[in-house]
Amino acid sequence: MIIAIDGPAAAGKGTLAQNLAQHFNYAFLDTGRLYRAVGYAVLQQNQDPSNEEIATKAAKAFDPKTINSILKNPALRNETTGEAASKVAVIPGVRAALLDLQRNFAEHPFFEDGTPAKGSVLDGRDIGTVVCPNADIKFFVTASAEVRADRRFKELKDAGKPANYDEILAGIKARDERDSNRATAPLKAADDAKILDTSNMNAIQVFQTALDMIAVDHA
Ligand code: C5P
């Protein structure tokens, strides 16, 4: 069983993916983290994330066996890394290098301790369209840019970190633009994805709505 969840930054897809994975006891992969890890690796070398050769080399260097520990690095969460991730994500060589890794996980999912799972939940931008076009369930989770910026703003404030709403909104719009308009695997809903607009929902309502949608389809 494969559940694919796509959508723009801060739409709530990560929280939904984790809730669904926990509910069904499936393994979860945040594919954005893979792109973030590539962006981070390039930044660590003091290189430009748009440098095709260096970014592709960084993506090819991933060892699937050690991926869990790489993806745990808290530095992957910050906005600078998110920006770098969306730049390396434009590069076809980077996407190709990460494709097998994601497909393998979807088809042979495993938990953090290496135990096999009977299903997987992947979240990203192109899971339902490119990585797992045959996924059993597909969601496209979205919300207005203003609502998403507001969520990020509150998240940072709550964590006691500096936050500027206008800068966050501009960053989200720039990332949406880059993710949606790239030539390879752009951000878009698969034709058979269920669209979930979370603008006026909290995380529990999003989870409940998703479960209701799954129940209707798989009754
Ligand atoms: O989801 P997250 O914000 O962590 O993703 C970081 C960036 O990685 C996105 O802005 C996008 O450019 C890229 N990405 C992608 N395809 C995916 C997941 C993430 O291009 N499946």
User: Using one digit for the tens of pLDDT, what is the confidence trace for 55-104?
Assistant: 999 999 988 777 777 888 999 988 899 999 999 999 999 999 999 999 99
Mutation probe of ligand 1 site: the residue of 29, 42, 78, 86 with most atoms within 8 A of C-beta: 86
Tell me if 205 sits within 8 A of 152, measured CB to CB: no
What local confidence, expressed as pLDDT, does residue 97 receive? Answer: 96
Q: Please give the average per-residue pLDDT across 10-15, as a whole number.
A: 95
What are the beta bridge partners of residue 137?
3
Q: CB of 36 closer than 6 A to ligand 1?
A: yes
Q: Please give the average per-residue pLDDT across 92-120, as a whole number.
A: 94
Tell me the CA–centroid distance for residue 219 and ligand 1, in Å.
Answer: 32
Tally of CB atoms within 10 A around 207: 19
Q: Please give the average per-residue pLDDT across 174-182, as a whole number.
A: 93
What local confidence, expressed as pLDDT, does residue 23 receive? Answer: 98
> For residue 74, what are the contacts with CB-CB under 8 A and spacing of at least 6?
none
Q: Please give the average per-residue pLDDT across 129-154, as a whole number.
A: 97
Q: CB of 123 closer than 6 A to ligand 1?
A: no
CA distances from 129 to 7, 24, 115, 126, 139 (A): 12, 23, 28, 5, 11
Q: State the pTM of this model.
A: 0.94
Can you give the C-alpha Rg of the chain in angstroms? 17
Does the pLDDT of residue 184 top 90, yes or no? yes
